Amino acid sequence: MDPLTWTGALGVVLNPLLAIAAVAFVLSAVAQFVLSFAAPAPTLQAEADGTLARSPGLVGLADQAMKWSFGALILVLLAYLVGGIVMPYGEAGIVGAVSARFLPVWIALLATFALSIATKRSTGLYGKLFDSTIGMIGFGLVMFWVFTAVFVGLFDMIATHDPLQQIVAMKNEPPGTPVTGGPEGIFPHYLLGGDNLARDVFTRMVEGSVVVMQVAPVATVFAFMVGITLDLPAGYYGGRLDTVLSFLANLILAFPVILLFYLLVTPEIVQTGIPSYMAAVLFVFPLVFFAVLLNSRYYTRPGLRTPLLAVVLGLLFVLYFSLVNAAGSRIDIPGLGWLDLFDVPGGILVVFVSVVFVNSPTVFRIVRGLALDIKTRDYVAAAQTRGEGAWYIMLWEILPNARGPLIVDFCLRIGYTTILLGTLGFFGLGLPPESPDWGTTINDGRRLISVYPHPALPPAFALLTMVLGLNLLADGLREESLKD
C-alpha cells in the first residue's frame, strides 16, 4: 500500500487556491494595518437621493479585502474537509482521511449549531451566545473536543488503533505511512505517524480528549460546589466566619500552583493516603450543597421536600462512596462494598482531588466578593423582610444573580485545569506513564522533536485549540452577559 500525501488528489486544485487565499489575506491585513496610520480620514459624499454617505476610503477597501480573503480561506479549508468525507479513502490524502474519521463529530456539531440557532431566543444566555461570533467560534472548538471524547470514550469511534498498541516497524514513521508488521484487519495507515514507542499518534491525540473530559469539567464543578458552600456564608454573615475562611483560602493561594500540584501528586504523598482523605472531605460538599439547596427551597412543603431529599442524597451518597472507595484508596467501609458502582483509577483520582483542592480557594474569593456586593441589593432586603431564611437568600437570591461572572469564570477555570493536566502529564506526575493524555504525549514526542516533530505537534495543537476555545467561549459569554 502506498503512503498517503497530505492532500492527495485534492491538492491539485485546492493547494493553489489555498496559497492564493492565504497570500491575499496576509497582504490585505498588512495593508489595513499600514493604512490605518497613513491613510487620510474618510470623507462624506452626496448620494443621488441627496443623503450623505461616508466613503470607505483605502482603509475600508483593505478591510473588505481582508474579509473576502478570509472567507475564501475558510471555504478552501472546508473543501478539504468535505472532500475527505465524500471521496474514497486515500484519494483525499491525510487531511481528508482525518476529516472522514471525525465525521460523527461534524454531524453532531452541525446538529447542535442548527438546533441552538433555531431556539436561541428562548434559551437565555446560552442562546445569546450565538449572537456573538467570538462566542460561536469558542463554542465550536470546545464542543468539537467534547463530541470527540464522547464518540471515542462511549462508542469506540474515530480512533484508528489501540492507543497502547505498538507495531515495531512503525517507530517514528512519518504521517501517512502504511502499517507493516501489524495484525490482520487493522487500519491501514498511521494517519499522523508513529511515536518513539511505535504507537499511533492520531489515536493517542483523540484518546487524550477523553482524559481531559473525565477530569477538567467535573473537577471544576466540584471546586465550585466547595467554594460556593463555604463562601456564601462567609460573604453573607461576615465577621469571624469570614475572617477564618478567608485566611484558610489565602493560605492555600499563597503556595505556587505548580508546586502545590507537585506536592499532592508525588508518589511519596500518595502513599501516605493524604489524597484519599482529602477526597473523603472534599466530596462531601456536593451532598451538603444539594441538601441545603433543596431544604431551603422546599422547607414549607415537607411532603415534597423529604422524599426529594431522600432520593437526591441517596444517589449522591452512592456516587460519593464510589468515588472515594477507589482502587488503592485508604477509604474502605466494611459492609458497603455493594454501593461501589465503579472504580476510578488511582492516578485520575489523585489528579481530580488536586484540581478541586487548588481551584476551590479561587472560587471562594470570587463568590465571596460577589456575595458582599449583592447582599446589599434591594431584593435581598425584600427577602429578609418577607422572613426568608439565610440559606434561602444565599442560594436563591444571591447566587442566581451572580451567575454571569460565575459562568464566565467556570469556562476559564476549565481551561486552566486543562493546562494543569497537560503540565502534570508533561512532567510525568499523577497520571500513569502510558496514559494518552496530551501532556504525556507531548513529553513523549519532545525528546526527538528536532528529528521527528510529528509526534509532539498534534497533541500540542489539540491542547491549544481546547484552551483557546474555552477562552473565546468565556469572552463571548462575558460580552453577552454585560448586555443584560
Specify if 343 maps to a domain. Answer: yes
Report the interhelical angle of 302-324 vs 274-282 (nearest 10°).
170
Same domain, 97 and 209: no
Per-residue pLDDT at 39:
57
| CA pair distance 57, 45, nearest whole angstrom | 11
What string of DSSP letters covers 373-432?
HHTTSHHHHHHHHTT--HHHHIIIIITGGGHHHHHHHHHHHHHHHHHHHHHHHHTT-SS-
DSSP-assigned states of every residue in 197-250: TS-BHHHHHHHHHHHHHHHHHHHHHHHHHHHHHHHHHHHHH-HHHHHHHHHHHH
Q: What is the pLDDT of residue 338?
A: 55
Residue 273 in any domain: the answer is yes
DSSP 91-116: TTHHHHHHHHHTHHHHHHHHHHHHHH
Is this prediction's pTM over 0.75? Answer: yes
Per residue in 82-106, is it b (16+ CB within 10 Å) or e — as a string?
A: ebbeebeebebbbbbbbbbbbebbb
The pLDDT of residue 125 is 77
What is the three-class DSSP state of 326? coil
Whether 283 contacts 320, CB under 8 Å = yes
State which H helix or E strand residue 189 sits in: strand 189-190
CA angle 96, 102, 107 (to 5 degrees): 115
CA dihedral 181, 185, 191, 197 (to 10 degrees): -40
Query: Which pLDDT belongs to residue 344?
Result: 65
Number of structural domains found in the chain:
2
Find the helix packing angle between 57-86 and 11-38, rounded to 10°: 160
Quote the pLDDT of residue 49. 60
Examine residue 217 and state whether it is found in any structural domain, yes or no: yes
Q: What is the pLDDT of residue 29?
A: 85
Distance CA 379, CA 458 (A): 51
Cell 446560552: give the residue: 126
Report phi then psi at 101, rounded to 5: -65, -30
Q: Identify whether 439 is part of a domain.
A: yes
pLDDT the model gives residue 428: 77
**Would residue 430 be called left, alpha or beta, if left means φ above 0 and alpha means ψ between -120 and 50 degrees?**
left
Q: In whole angstroms, give the CA distance from residue 391 to residue 241.
A: 15
Look at the block and give the residue holding cell 505556587: 256
Residue 277 corresponds to which cell in the numbers above? Answer: 482523605
Containing structural domain, residue 12: 1-37+57-101
| Within-domain flag for 133 | no
Location of C-alpha cell 442562546: 127
Does residue 49 lie in a domain region? no
Torsion of CA 117, 121, 125, 129, to 10 degrees: 30
Statement to judge: residues 405 and 271 lie in one domain: yes
pLDDT of residue 108: 95
Same domain, yes or no: 97 and 230:
no
Is 171 in a helix, a strand, or coil? coil
Place of cell 468525507: 85
Cell 431564611 -> residue: 389
Contacts (Cβ under 8 Å, ≥6 apart) of 150: 108, 213
How many CB atoms sit inside 10 A of residue 385's CB? Answer: 8
Identify the DSSP state of 49: T
Q: Strand pairing partners for 52?
A: 46
Q: In angstroms, rounded to a whole number, what is the distance separating the alpha carbons of residues 7 and 308?
A: 57
Nearest to 161 by CA among 128, 118, 116, 194: 194
**Is residue 5 one of the residues assigned to a domain?**
yes
Amino acid identity, position 317: F
Q: What cell does 8 get?
A: 492527495
DSSP 47: -
Please check whether residue 231 is in contact with residue 245, taking contact to mean a CB–CB distance below 8 angstroms: yes
Within a domain: 161:
no
What's the per-residue H, E or C state across 116-136? Answer: HHHCHHHCHHHHHHHHCHHHH
**Which residue ranges of the chain lie beneath pLDDT 50?**
328
Residue 141's closest CA among 439, 441, 473? 473
Helix (H, G, I), strand (E, B) or coil at 296: helix
Beta bridge partners of 189: 178
Report DSSP state, residue 449.
T
In angstroms, the CA 67 to CA 54 distance is 19
pLDDT by residue (tens digit) across 54-86? Answer: 555 677 777 888 889 989 999 999 999 999 899
Q: Does residue 276 sit in the same domain as residue 408?
A: yes
